Amino acid sequence: MKRALFLLCFVLAAVCVQARHLAPKPCRLVFIGNSITYGALHAGPERTAPPVVAAEYVAKLLGTEVAFRNCGRSGATTVDFLPERDTDFKRVKKAIAELQAESGEALYVFSIMLGTNDSASTRTTGAPVSNEDYARNLRAIMDTVRELCPGAIFVLQRPIWYSDNTYNNAMYLVEGQKRLEGYAGVLRTLAEEAEDVYPGDERSYDLFRENYRKLCFPENGRAGVFYLHPTEKGARKLARNWARAIAEAVTVAATR
């Protein structure tokens, strides 16, 4: 019995030493996304948007200091964030410059959740965006970030579910939902292609599909009441799933 307890204590001590050895640097998080990332329809998105909650949770999970920037913009697609267009990517460049000016050595993590608006059939930039173009656009975004921020890592979060009657200014509907589902495979492939790209949260897609009435705002659209944007409660759940994926990526990166 004493021997077993000794061995258990030895293993626990070894794990603690290893954890301290792999303790991550301070983290600088940049969230790239659309209205969901921005916190659309929230009374106070500066307090309740997913990046705000995710950053707090990452700090707790990793036990490190975290700073972040929310680059989400309502209606944005991967096309809008293409560096060559010099439109929404300006937000990313500004975020990088600000964070680099504020801190010394840190690990930069770019959490990307784009695709919702890419999947629309009409009235969003580039819509509809094919799987091939979706992958090409994300590669272009990440390549430019690598130039601006060497050593950064990327976490590709899967876009969450929306109802198949979603139709606001843009038309999504069943066709858009199917296109959105197809993007999941693209994100997995991208995560396998490069060592600095990590798979993000996939659990939230089913979470919102199964609990949309509790976690999403009901919105009046051209095809009836649809569900697309997370409520404050939904955003907290989404943020925690993002944070877990980010923390796992940072932990793996620390071992390389």
Look-up of token digits 């009441």: 225
For the stretch 95-99, contacts whose Cβ atoms lie closer than 8 Å and that sit 24 or more positions apart, written own/partner, are 95/30, 95/69, 95/71, 96/30, 96/145, 96/148, 96/149, 98/69, 99/28, 99/30, 99/67, 99/69
| Model pLDDT for residues 124-183, shown as the tens digit of each residue | 999 999 999 999 999 999 999 999 999 999 999 999 999 999 999 999 999 999 999 999
Classify domain 25-254 at the CATH superfamily level.
SGNH hydrolase (3.40.50.1110)
| Model pLDDT for residues 79-127, shown as the tens digit of each residue | 999 999 999 999 999 999 999 999 788 999 999 999 999 999 999 999 9
Contact 71/134 with Cβ under 8 angstroms? Answer: no
Domain ranges of the chain: 25-254
pLDDT for 104 equals: 81
pTM of this structure: 0.91
